[in-house]
Chains A and B, each alone.
Chain A
Amino acid sequence: MSSETTAPESGSERVGADTPDVEALYERIEDLESTVDSLRDDGPKKMTIIATKGSLDMAYPPLILASTAAAFGWDVTVFHTFWGLDILHEERSAELQVSAVGNPSMPMPNVLGALPGGDSLATWYMNREIADNGTATIEELVETSLEMGADLQACEMTTELFDYDHDDFYDGVTTDVGAATALQHMADADVQLLV
């Protein structure tokens, strides 16, 4: 019996002693709620693509995704490295080639594609298809992507490796960036792709 009568007393004592902590807890909950709200409302989606290929067929996917994502209002970063740099190279982007060999989908046998002029023939064929189908050119897609706010970046290490000059790239291309910049964007991105 005596423990029953003392229990409420010790209980009320405990509440009394803890009151400042309860207030602190309420503050902590408010802090956490505002943190959760800020995490929920983290602005537009982000996409980062690493573009490593410089053949005509492989130049299209990153540019099509970049321009479309920009139309969605996403923050878009495309980090161009190795042969992917040619996509940003004003002169070379107009002369991208298709390889006739090693692509079973090409409408010519590999043995023909391996002959001298095979790549030129495959490239001529693809350029004709691009023109006939109203497919945008690489130049058009690069300029449209830049216009729409996509951040097209040229890897500095491969720019130097290939002996390219910053002036060789389209106006608006971001230069002087490296792997750490790419990783930083990838870590923040909702979509990350290596092409």
Chain B
Amino acid sequence: MTTEIPSDDVTTTIDVTGESCPMPVVRTKQAVDDLAVGDVLEVLATDSGSVSDIDGWAASVDDVALLAQSETTADGRTVYHHYVERVDA
């Protein structure tokens, strides 16, 4: 998985920091449903399981492509950034 962040391409950002399984995937799915094809959603999470979970979820659904995942650490707190694009099913 690439760590490149297409920041200019982000249409919407959701913040699920502090929330744990299953909420990062659930909130991502709900946000993707509001996107148009071609829109990119950025998801900010602190749940370390979200890296594997959003990857697995994106691979399993037809209308989503995972563009990138990366992480940033500030003040000892790691935030995982996920970028998913709504695509034609």
Interface residues of A (CB under 8 A from B): 64, 67-68, 70-73, 133-136, 141, 144, 147-148
Q: Contact at A136–B61, with CB atoms within 8 Å?
A: no
Shortest beta-carbon distance, B59 to chain A, in Å?
A: 10
Find the residue from A68, A71, A134, A141 having the highest chain B CB count within 10 A: A71
Q: Are B22 and A71 interface neighbours, CB within 8 A?
A: yes
Nearest to B32 among chain A residues (CB) is: A71
Chain B nearest Cβ from A73, distance in angstroms: 6
Q: Which residue in A72, A133, A144 is a CB contact (below 8 Å) of B61?
A: A72
CB nearest neighbor in A for B19: A134
Q: Is B23 an interface residue (CB 8 A)?
A: yes
Flag if A68 contacts B61 (CB, 8 Å). no
CA distance in complex: A141, B27 (Å): 12
> Known contacts A133-B20, A134-B18, A135-B20: does B26 contact A68 (CB below 8 Å)?
yes
CB atoms of B30 and A64 under 8 A apart: no
Q: With contacts A71-B28, A134-B23 known, what are 20 further pairs, Cβ within 8 A?
A: A67-B22, A68-B22, A68-B26, A68-B57, A70-B26, A71-B26, A71-B29, A71-B30, A71-B57, A72-B29, A73-B61, A134-B20, A134-B46, A134-B47, A135-B20, A136-B20, A136-B22, A136-B23, A141-B22, A148-B30
Chain A CB within 8 A of B84 CB: no
Closest 6 CB pairs of A and B: A71-B29, A134-B18, A68-B22, A64-B22, A134-B19, A134-B20
Interface members, chain B 51-87 (any A CB < 8 Å): 57, 60-62
User: Is there a chain A Cβ closer than 8 Å to B25's Cβ?
Assistant: yes
| Contact assessment for B60 and A136 in the assembled complex, using a CB-CB cutoff below 8 Å | no
Q: What are 19 sample pairs from A and B whose C-beta atoms fall under 8 A apart?
A: A64-B21, A64-B22, A68-B22, A68-B25, A68-B26, A71-B22, A71-B28, A71-B29, A71-B57, A72-B29, A72-B61, A73-B62, A134-B19, A134-B46, A134-B47, A135-B20, A136-B19, A144-B26, A147-B30
